[in-house]
Structure 1
């Protein structure tokens, strides 16, 4: 089946009424639908399909009121489409709301002692002084995009600073890949899991962020070098089937599609942006994961092989016990990979 048709099926499934399904219900305000609409925006930018743009505008109209009072990192994710909606439509309301949220993020969002954004969630649970890889995609991407539409250098500088802090704190120096989280009090990586989706969030998010911030501030060479080291490390853990195990250094653990799709998207986006050297091995790895992800898309557009929501677990073994089911972030990261693979040709 052509990639164009596969991408369309994924998108159409995301639009379906999945009320009551935590993983697939797009009509609420949190990181799960946030990743969904971010991916739809990528799909729109790759295809220029007006119905996708209109869906996003209507989604905001239906759901923005649900964000009231929610000032947490995971609740920032849906705002990442606001800068693009402002650019395309010229409607000041999108820009004004983006600026308001960005100002809160820079001035008031809780930070760890290393000045990383503390990972906060909409659920009634706190992860004090914890740094999670997820934050880069859920909040820093939004900040970088808002910097571009406003020209506010302080937003761009903070976005790039957060990327660097996260890369420094989460990197496994032995392999170059990232641990899921860092505890600033105990000064350790907690269960020290080299979780694939954590790496996927940053593999995908960093080239998107650098593309925005580079318009306003020079890209720190340490950020660029650390990103290359990350991607090189990831290639060493890619399985024969093209995916990564849910904990990538545990070859017997189940393969995980969403994180693998995020890594594949990151490879393609970074090659396009010049954040990776022009070497065939990156392209070969991206093609392998693309074909593997496509093989997990069912006839109805549901992406299979996606692990459920995952906080930093108490042990590495616990990651392999996370159930798999359909989710908007699995759909979304797969849609992003497909859209990026055919950008300009759909």
Structure 2
């Protein structure tokens, strides 16, 4: 593992991260309905990876990345898309951007079809929350923090494309309902899930990756959706309180435990990368105080230690369900995953922006 990496090496790391993401294969027999390791499938891990790749293309103008994304979607569409649910919705966020950029009527029709399912057919909980329905499991009455990233960002994005405020309002409602029931008011962190059937938080797991979907997702949501000031202020105060708690719980390595408040649980890289990305981007955009930059940079260094010379991100927990036993979370296996690669990719790009800002400020000072 690397001990330290200079800013000028980010480009090399990014190239390796992307290569490894594209070529990941499971090293064990997956028991999930749709494979979540290989990028050859259509599920939420692939969706997270696709959005990271598109974000990188958007920042760099690397047309080869865009062409790869188009080829990926064309192949998956030709194979036939899976059933619609919260998790399989995730790739649609990237498709919505490609639909706009390419002018593809077919892409746009698919986006409209899938967002209409969310708005009109996806099962709801009390108070209109999006029930966290996944392939082969309806999860009756349950809301999970994962849903905001996997589905709600896409809903907001379609509000932009269709110029329809209905979609923005729905995305706002989902953020509010999820924050209402998932926030641990004592810490400002988020529980993995809530059920309206029995009204409880299962194991009361303050699960790292679930929390990180908010940290990383919110800064991108604010890029996507034109929100009323009061809404954005509310969401950002929730972010600040979460990050304040994260700063207290950060391990000396810069990483966070997979159960944030349980030091006997292992340190987990994908959540740590997502936390670092969200924190550093929020500081850069003025959403968080400058004092939090040190938390993000410490996490950046910790993540860099978990990337090997080939560009594989280690210490990533496999897909994780909502359970009533904290030991379940402690025992999730670790292996390279698309979201580990992609969150590290987003983090490296954000770190590059920080270095660009540093160089620019240095030149201004010298002049």
Q: TM-score range by the shorter chain?
A: over 0.9
1:3 partnered with 2:10: yes
CA distance in 2, matches of 1:129, 1:222: 26
Kindly state the Cα deviation for residue 143 of structure 1 after the two structures are TM-superposed: 1.1
Kindly state the Cα deviation for residue 19 of structure 1 after the two structures are TM-superposed: 7.2
20, 44, 55: which one pairs with 1:13?
Answer: 20
Question: What's 1:45 paired with?
Answer: 58
Question: What's 2:32 paired with?
Answer: none
CA distance in 2, matches of 1:246, 1:67: 35
1:335 partnered with 2:342: no
Q: Structure 1 pair 318/309, CA: closer, same or farther in 2 (3 Å)?
A: same
Q: Normalization by structure 2: what TM-score?
A: 0.88
1:279 partnered with 2:293: no
Contact kept in structure 1, 2:82 and 2:88, CA below 8 Å: no
Kindly state the Cα deviation for residue 47 of structure 1 after the two structures are TM-superposed: 2.0
1:62 partnered with 2:75: yes
Kindly state the Cα deviation for residue 222 of structure 1 after the two structures are TM-superposed: 2.7
Kindly state the Cα deviation for residue 179 of structure 1 after the two structures are TM-superposed: 0.7
Question: What's 2:191 paired with?
Answer: 179
Kindly state the Cα deviation for residue 66 of structure 1 after the two structures are TM-superposed: 4.7
CA distance in 2, matches of 1:87, 1:212: 14
Aligned CA-pair RMSD:
2.0
Q: Normalization by structure 1: what TM-score?
A: 0.93
CA distance in 2, matches of 1:142, 1:333: 18
Question: What's 1:94 paired with?
Answer: 107
Q: Report the structure number with the largest CA radius of gyration.
A: 2
Question: What's 1:304 paired with?
Answer: 314
25, 49, 56: which one pairs with 1:36?
Answer: 49
CA distance in 2, matches of 1:273, 1:158: 25
Segment drifting more, 286-295 vs 227-236: 227-236
Kindly state the Cα deviation for residue 270 of structure 1 after the two structures are TM-superposed: 2.1
Structure 2: where are the runs of 5+ without partners?
A: 29-34, 357-367
CA distance in 2, matches of 1:65, 1:165: 36
Contact kept in structure 2, 1:157 and 1:213, CA below 8 Å: no
1:208-240 per-residue CA deviation (whole Å, 9 max, x = no partner) reads 1122222x6555143232222222222221111
Kindly state the Cα deviation for residue 185 of structure 1 after the two structures are TM-superposed: 1.4
Question: What's 1:292 paired with?
Answer: 302
Structure 1: where are the runs of 5+ without partners?
A: none
